[in-house]
Structure 1
Amino acid sequence: MTTPAAAAVLPPLALGRHQVWPPVVLAPMAGITNVAFRTLCREQGGGLYVCEMITTRALVERNPRTMRMVAFDGDERPRSLQLYGVDPEVTAAAVRMVVEEDLADHIDLNFGCPVPKVTRKGGGSALPWRRRLFARIVRAAVAAAAPAGVPVTVKMRKGIDDDHLTYVEAGLAAQDAGVAAVALHGRTAAQRYSGTADWDAIATLKQALDVPVLGNGDIWEADDALRMVAHTGADGVVVGRGCLGRPWLFADLAAAFAGRPDRALPTLGEVATTMRRHAELLVEWLESERDGCTDFRKHVAWYLKGFPVGSELRRSLAMIESLMELDDLLGKLEGDAPFPVELLGQPRGRTNSPGKVFLPDGWLDSRDDDMVPEGAELADSGG
């Protein structure tokens, strides 16, 4: 068992001119990692907080919803933006736009999304199979970002399935193209979010590359991050589902990487305060109390997981339309109820079953075909 002090020797994560400490990255999650949620998490501890996935075509075409999604708080540094693209030319145009209009300080390229609407277009976790197309996209992004010194990273999965693994070859290609770091989710696209993440694959990639490697998958608690780093030699961690309804996880991670044993175990009353803050930030960002409260509803179950809250009260909280209504309902919670420690280390968010990966016709036939699939570029953002 690794002690917190064992991981404290990690240096800051170097991404170009940016030094990230602790070496922790909030993974982009559709409908979750907006300005409000990132602010809430940043209030807990340091790290790199990535916005929702932005499609290159939607950005270049200045889709109104997409332009709203690339907004950052004034004190958010470095500003981290994840791009999804399948066409090297469109990707380059999007990166140039980010650079010329100073939209972000760091760009991450998405090659890990397993969602069918993405993979059936040849994008996300399907794309590294077409190794020449993958390399062209990464090189185009790095070249477009280079004049402004904006670092580019890639995030990917192990491969399409166990018979079509690509992560080592793709990692080496990304490194050759000039990326600042590579993040690996230790699952295949076919696994989706099922089973357990393969940390051995992260260790293998770390041994193969010279650039920093970040590990992603099954980090439910801060001590999981320490164990991952000890097991894999990774230079940092990427956290996704583990922070849903638990933004204080970033305070735990900051403590863990500083070698401190303290961990947050908020009472239900303290969780209620965080919930109110989250809803308030959403209202402020969306400039609409109703829209902010509606967006907050999906977070209620995550926040209350394991706490003694009746089904009727849970249902009412998940249907709020105003902050006043939220305040009234939060006041009915048992504020001194202790944190349900029996849930520590348990999965959160999506835990679906393995499934078929939808791919373009003939996608697996040739690894060296670098043609862009017809209609591959998505017109909207968010995954």
Structure 2
Amino acid sequence: MPALPTSLTLGSLTVETPVVLAPMAGITNAAYRRLCAEQGAGLYVCEMITSRGLVERDETTLNMLVFDDLEKVRSVQLYGTDPVYVGKAAEILCAEYGVAHIDLNFGCPVPKVTRKGGGGALPWKRGLLAEILTAAVGAATPYDVPVTMKTRKGIDEDHVTYLDAGRIAEDSGCAAIALHGRTVAQSYSGEADWSAIANLVDHVSIPVLGNGDIWEAGDAVRMVSETGAAGVVVGRGCLGRPWLFRDLAAAFAPSGPSAPVLPSLGEVRDVMRRHAELLSEHMGEERGCKEFRKHVSWYLKGFRAGGTLRHSLALVDSLASLERLLDELDPSEPFPVSELGHPRGRQGSPRTKVALPEGWLDDVDGAGAHVQEDSNETTGG
């Protein structure tokens, strides 16, 4: 097996561990990024924001663009379909927010986004993709901020885009490209095609990051070994499991990989408490506790905690009530090994037809095109 990478270089930025936290709407806020960073090294990307929303100073967008005081390396993912907006947004991020890394989302499979030609549908228009990437890189270069992009294999198996997207990313000056090994039509269903990641590695000279079906640290090691990827992007695998980044740091350590240590329910309880505290620090206690509720089922998945307790935790409205409920958990209960290696979060079913603008597939250029973009669109890839 070839030697594993122990760090990741993105232009002027060096990441201590070749691991990136994928932006997830409503999940990867400043509190969660801080929580993951406390577990292990990596690059932790802010929730995705829209270029237009940032340029127009949309309140919802600006409220998402928040960083923890200890977040020294600020990373943001932009969603954009208009080169002018993307360029202006990239400049704002560099000049006003001091970001160290900008990622562009061309992987979202959500119908309301692809129906307008955005997300995973946009790379079909090679000319438009090049214009957007060139605008972003041009705006970020004076600040020495690397720009990367994330995409999928294509719209479906008959309309594959990732190899052209990789070439365009490289030609546009991107520092790296991340590939989710599924098509838009697959959404989050089925299995990710890691062979596509390997093909992209052979096709471009910039670093390729692999994404899809990384549920355990061993999956990340296997992906890098099989594909030659420079690192991995982790999304759903860390839901309710921020300690996955501890395991990943150990897996890619210069001293060689070490076996992960499974947390007891007592240790999981401590992480839950810390998560809620961080959310409360950033959002206020009432809102922070409400935000925490969505994480309860992920944290307790596979544990024996009863339905009544789970229900109460999912309605928690204060840190004091959370503390009382957490005390009811059995701290000695071992981690449920039956949950290891299985998908977490949304999966869904493949789509028979991807929602696209009328005539979208008629040509592959799109140079000079303008795709409709809402000012506060929220997506994921």
Q: TM-score range by the shorter chain?
A: over 0.9
Greater than 2 Å deviation, 4+ residue runs: 369-374
Query: CA–CA distance in 2 between the matches of 1:146 and 1:304?
Result: 44
Using the size of structure 2 for normalisation, the TM-score is 0.96
Counterpart position of 1:273: 270
> Contact (CA 8 Å) 1:152, 1:179: kept in 2 or not?
yes
Displacement of 1:264 in angstroms is 2.7
Pick the aligned partner of 1:78 from 67, 73, 76.
73
The letter of the residue matching 1:326 is L
C-alpha deviations, 1:31-58, integer Å up to 9, x for none? 0000000000000111100011110010
Counterpart position of 2:9: 14
The letter of the residue matching 2:38 is E
The letter of the residue matching 1:297 is R
> Contact (CA 8 Å) 2:137, 2:146: kept in 1 or not?
yes
Query: CA–CA distance in 1 between the matches of 2:128 and 2:373?
Result: 14
Query: CA–CA distance in 2 between the matches of 1:364 and 1:145?
Result: 31
Q: CA RMSD in A?
A: 1.2
The letter of the residue matching 1:330 is L
Pick the aligned partner of 2:366 from 362, 366, 369.
369
> Contact (CA 8 Å) 2:6, 2:252: kept in 1 or not?
no
SS in 2 for 1:43: helix
Counterpart position of 1:94: 89
Change (3 A) 1:11 1:305: closer
Gaps of 5+ in 1: none
Pick the aligned partner of 1:340 from 323, 333, 336.
336
Q: Does 1:311 align with 2:307?
A: yes
Displacement of 1:74 in angstroms is 2.7
> Contact (CA 8 Å) 1:114, 1:190: kept in 2 or not?
yes
Counterpart position of 2:324: 328
> Contact (CA 8 Å) 1:268, 1:337: kept in 2 or not?
yes
Query: CA–CA distance in 2 between the matches of 1:190 and 1:314?
Result: 34
Query: CA–CA distance in 1 between the matches of 2:46 and 2:93?
Result: 14
Counterpart position of 1:251: 246
Query: CA–CA distance in 2 between the matches of 1:7 and 1:293?
Result: 43
The letter of the residue matching 2:16 is W
C-alpha deviations, 1:232-287, integer Å up to 9, x for none? 0000000000000000000000000112323131111111110011011111111x
Query: CA–CA distance in 2 between the matches of 1:373 and 1:106?
Result: 25
> Contact (CA 8 Å) 1:7, 1:226: kept in 2 or not?
no
> Contact (CA 8 Å) 2:40, 2:246: kept in 1 or not?
yes
Counterpart position of 1:202: 197
The letter of the residue matching 2:268 is V
Alignment of 1:125-140 (within 5 A): 125-140=120-135
> Contact (CA 8 Å) 1:53, 1:84: kept in 2 or not?
yes
SS in 2 for 1:50: strand
Counterpart position of 1:359: 356
Counterpart position of 2:290: 294
Using the size of structure 1 for normalisation, the TM-score is 0.96
Change (3 A) 1:196 1:82: same
> Contact (CA 8 Å) 2:31, 2:68: kept in 1 or not?
no
C-alpha deviations, 1:71-109, integer Å up to 9, x for none? 212332321000000001111111111122134111000
Query: CA–CA distance in 1 between the matches of 2:261 and 2:287?
Result: 30
Query: CA–CA distance in 1 between the matches of 2:6 and 2:163?
Result: 24
SS in 2 for 1:160: strand
> Contact (CA 8 Å) 1:56, 1:83: kept in 2 or not?
yes
> Contact (CA 8 Å) 2:191, 2:213: kept in 1 or not?
yes
Pick the aligned partner of 2:233 from 234, 238, 242.
238
Q: Does 1:260 align with 2:257?
A: yes
Q: Does 1:144 align with 2:145?
A: no
Query: CA–CA distance in 2 between the matches of 1:212 and 1:121?
Result: 30
The letter of the residue matching 1:285 is H
Report how many aligned residue pairs link the two structures.
Answer: 376
C-alpha deviations, 1:7-52, integer Å up to 9, x for none? 54x1521111111121000000000000000000000111100011
Query: CA–CA distance in 2 between the matches of 1:381 and 1:74?
Result: 26
> Contact (CA 8 Å) 1:248, 1:264: kept in 2 or not?
no
Query: CA–CA distance in 2 between the matches of 1:11 and 1:39?
Result: 22
Counterpart position of 1:51: 46
> Contact (CA 8 Å) 1:7, 1:257: kept in 2 or not?
no
Q: Does 1:225 align with 2:211?
A: no
Query: CA–CA distance in 1 between the matches of 2:12 and 2:70?
Result: 17
Pick the aligned partner of 1:188 from 183, 191, 196.
183
SS in 2 for 1:195: coil
Displacement of 1:373 in angstroms is 4.2
Displacement of 1:63 in angstroms is 1.3
Pick the aligned partner of 2:24 from 25, 29, 32.
29
More divergent stretch after superposition (64-73 vs 48-57): 64-73
Query: CA–CA distance in 1 between the matches of 2:366 and 2:190?
Result: 32
Change (3 A) 1:128 1:262: same
